[in-house]
Chain A
């Protein structure tokens, strides 16, 4: 049975292939000239270059944070390529001009960009290494006033929106990695939902790191105007390389009065091999600002990949009656390390937040929940409910919970629940004795454990997430 468990848990990574393409890269290394070159390559307006240079200056003064329950090998920032893009004949007007190899790559990943085969209810922005290669349904969305495009396009087409909101939720100097990202980010997605509009499609960005030496630094900005609604999905994969790659993203969300943003992630970057060699270092800053009254931001994440994950999607509840939610499943295996959780900062009256975190650790992995609930003095009658559950499989994995709670008024209510359980041999034997296979047994226990989070995912994503976890844990599938 032990043997079975091992083969189950060590299912090979399915998205580990790489694509050979003609690419345009710049020299390795990070300095002011590289940043100027990068900005020039992207033909950016001056405010962007200044933004980047300012960020670089701040970043140089930072040291890498070491408070997380992670062992991070030293990262050589001079050994990273900061710009790598598929070579294009000219500006892409239609997908016909995109390298067919890239389209094939996305097809292989289950994301079709072509007119005939694209998903019927989701608009997709596909980001390949440093640039966006195509966005579907742009025209249809525009008719409703919804803007959904690559970040580079947004900088050119909507500079006033970018200038106004870029860095307004995650300031340049927020932390080490936000400063790095602000200096060198190359692309990402931009969404703008106008007043009283319910975005007719789910919006989705699919991130693919292909190049072996490049880092991926993307930026996402979503603005939901008064009374609007949008559901946004994010997916990530990368090829299997022996060398570690750096991914440092920044995501900013802003919800105005009565607006709602639902942000879902299925993160499946390459996690490294059984000995812990290779894999993505995933350092991400995600934050949402509930700026208006009755606004709502909801984060749902399924984190299964990356060799190191450092990520705390957070909400600043500024508007009265605003709501912040965080639902998370984090699975770590082999030598993966995850330090992830959420921050809920209550500033407005009657604000409400909810944290549901499920950590699954197996192999030799380390999985930590880290959270902050901060209820300010004036945030009267606020509420928070947190639930942090850890599930251990095997005897060598490690689970931690670090909840920080600070309440500065007497009218607010806080609830915190936590549990740790273990899938032991005896539980599996119980299933086996009843004729149920190891695969089904673990599948059933894992979906049971993650139920509260999966119900928060959009339908297609819930199926995808369930499949992903089974893929990671089951022997017979894939």
Chain B
């Protein structure tokens, strides 16, 4: 079991967002989480990554069998939890290359492996750039600054490839992408997936699931998973919407 979310209750500013939520993800599995706006999907992803704005009132999150609730966000990252952000933030003055190298080296250090110098790093990152079909010119630009929506999302997948995390949570990585970009990104994600990895896809649209086949599809509503199905379930949702599940 890579991830186990047990009876998780979460509030932000005293408003309840997650309500006794349960979720289990095994190695080698892809889970999709769908559901209407405001159902708590993004909150779940941020809580797993350790965002400080949320208060966990009860329940637990286990990563590889151990509770991570007390761990700092950077430690969770080192353990192998990756979050591709819905809105990747711009960081003025910091080059993408420096950012990526620092991130890579922080993880190397945690694993007691050798940190790399800029020249060694360039070789490593060049390989990963091909995977998401990104131009090396991106490296010298500031992190996400002036990037188009598609470029930002691509940059997230580049980081996912670089950090080689055990569990990747992709928060609406497909939103705002044109069809070509969606295909490139999906291919990149599929290339990174293997039997030792797990992915949680948060999405509004069935079309992403045409490219990436999930093992399970969950529907979230009011901070809970109210229904779970297989990959065919998405098509049903696309036609019927979420309303019928309420009853």
Q: Which residues of A contact B (CB under 8 A)?
A: 1-2, 421, 425-427, 429-437, 440, 444-445, 447-449, 451
Q: Is the CB of A435 within 8 A of B78?
A: yes
A444 with B99: in contact, given A434-B159, A435-B78 (CB under 8 Å)? yes
CB distance from A267 to the nearest CB of B (A): 23
> Could you list some 26 contacts between A and B, CB below 8 A?
A421-B92, A425-B53, A426-B89, A427-B89, A429-B52, A430-B85, A430-B91, A432-B72, A432-B77, A433-B49, A434-B77, A434-B103, A434-B159, A434-B163, A435-B78, A435-B103, A435-B106, A435-B163, A436-B99, A437-B106, A440-B102, A444-B99, A448-B93, A449-B92, A449-B93, A451-B93
Cα–Cα, bound, A401→B103 (Å): 35
Measured between C-beta atoms, what is the minimum distance from B120 to chain A in Å? 18
B21-80 contacts to A (CB < 8 Å): 49-53, 72-74, 77-78
Interface string of B74-106 (1 = CB under 8 A from A): 100110001101001101111100110011001
**Is B110 an interface residue, CB under 8 A from the partner?**
yes
Interface contact B51-A436, CB-CB below 8 Å: no
Q: CB distance A436 to B52 under 8 Å?
A: no
Closest to A447 in B: B93
Interface string of B104-122 (1 = CB under 8 A from A): 0011001000000000000
Chain A residue contacts of B159, Cβ below 8 A: 434
Chain A residue with Cβ nearest B109: A435
A429 to B83, CA, bound (A): 11
Contact B89 A432 (CB under 8 A): no
Query: Are B83 and A444 closer than 8 Å at their CB atoms?
Result: no
The residue from B73, B92, B110, B142 contacting A429, defined by CB atoms under 8 A apart: B73
Q: Which of A425, A429, A437, A444 has the most CB of B within 10 A?
A: A429
A429 partner residues in chain B, CB cutoff 8 A = 51-52, 73
Q: Which residues of A contact B78 (CB under 8 A)?
A: 435
4 A-B pairs closest in CB distance:
A448-B93, A432-B73, A435-B77, A434-B103
Q: Please name all residues of chain B whose beta carbon is closer than 8 Å to the beta carbon of A437 when the two chains form the complex.
A: 74, 106
Among A421, A434, A435, chain B packs the most CB atoms within 10 A around the CB of A435
Closest residue of chain A to B90, judged by CB? Answer: A427
Q: How extensive is the interface on chain B, given as a class?
A: 20 to 34
A426 CA / B78 CA spacing, docked (Å): 19
In the complex, are the beta carbons of B106 and A436 less than 8 A apart? Answer: yes
Taken together as a complex, chains A and B put the C-alpha atoms of A35 and B71 apart, in Å, by 64
Among B85, B99, B142, the one with the most A-chain Cβ atoms within 10 Å of its Cβ is B99
Interface contacts beyond A440-B106, A448-B91: sample of 20 additional A-B pairs, CB < 8 Å, sorted by A = A1-B52, A2-B52, A427-B89, A430-B89, A431-B99, A432-B74, A432-B77, A433-B50, A433-B77, A433-B83, A435-B74, A435-B78, A435-B103, A435-B107, A436-B102, A445-B91, A447-B93, A448-B93, A448-B94, A448-B142
A445 near B72 with CB under 8 A, answer no
Residues of B within 8 A of A440 (CB): 102, 106
Chain B interface residues (CB < 8 Å from chain A): 49-53, 72-74, 77-78, 82-83, 85, 88-89, 91-95, 98-99, 102-103, 106-107, 110, 142, 159, 163
Given A429-B73, A436-B103: A445 in contact with B52 (beta carbons within 8 A): no
* A430 to B110 alpha-carbon distance, docked (Å): 18
The answer for the CA separation of A421 and B92 in the assembled complex, in Å, is 8
Residue of B nearest to A4 (CB): B72
| Closest B residue to A437 using CB positions | B74
Contact A430 B94, beta carbon cutoff 8 Å: no
Query: What residues of chain B lie closer than 8 Å to A431, measured between beta carbons?
Result: 99, 103
Q: B69 → chain A, closest Cβ, in Å? A: 15
Q: Flag if A425 contacts B52 (CB, 8 Å).
A: yes
B47 to chain A, nearest CB (A): 12
Q: Check B51–A445 contact: CB distance below 8 A.
A: no
CA distance A445 to B99 in the complex (A): 10
In the assembled complex, the CB of B32 is this many whole angstroms from the nearest CB of chain A, namely 21
Distance of B115 from chain A, by nearest CB (Å): 12
List chain A residues, Cβ under 8 A from B51: 429
Cβ-defined contact, A430 with B88, below 8 A: yes
> A35 to chain B: closest CB distance in Å?
49
Distance from B76 Cβ to chain A, minimum over Cβ atoms (Å): 8
Shortest beta-carbon distance from A388 to chain B in Å? 15
Taking a contact as CB atoms under 8 Å apart, the answer to whether A445 and B93 are in contact is yes
Q: Find chain A residues with CB under 8 A from B83 CB.
A: 433
Q: What residues of chain A lie closer than 8 Å to B99, measured between beta carbons? A: 431, 434, 436, 444
Least Cβ distance of A371 to chain B in Å?
Answer: 22
B50 CB contacts on chain A under 8 angstroms: 432-433
Task: Tell me the complex Cα distance, A440–B107, Å.
Answer: 14
Chain A residues lying within 8 Å of B53, measured Cβ to Cβ, are 425
Given the complex, which residues of B lie within 8 Å of A432, measured CB to CB? 50, 72-74, 77
